[in-house]
């Protein structure tokens, strides 16, 4: 079972006894907040759920599969999510 954003809004609205408009606003605010913190290089820890943050990925060498030429990929920052213990236990 998977949910897209529209289905998640419906689920949250039902569980929290909110209108779909209010649930959508809450989900949008959450995503904006996570994005804002990550953009500044910070992290958000939600005990039992998980941690959102940024990792530094090192520069590396690769190969273009079409031309077989070597390519150098620059170092960059990438967002990550690490599931918490309670969330991991639900996946088992």
Is 78 within 8 Å of 87 (Cβ atoms)? no
Tens-digit pLDDT profile for residues 46-81: 999 999 999 999 999 999 999 999 999 999 999 999
CA distance 33 to 73: 30
| Residue labelled with tokens 């897209």 | 4
State mean pLDDT over 24-48.
95
pLDDT at 2: 84
């Amino acid at each position: 079972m998977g949910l897209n954003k529209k289905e998640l809004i419906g689920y949250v609205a039902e569980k929290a006894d909110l209108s779909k408009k209010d649930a959508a606003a809450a989900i949008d605010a959450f995503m904006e907040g996570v994005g804002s913190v990550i953009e500044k290089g910070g992290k958000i820890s939600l005990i039992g759920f998980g941690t959102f943050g940024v990792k530094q990925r090192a520069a590396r060498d690769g190969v273009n599969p079409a031309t077989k030429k070597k390519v150098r990929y620059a170092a960059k920052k990438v967002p990550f999510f690490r599931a918490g213990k309670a969330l991991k236990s639900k996946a088992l």
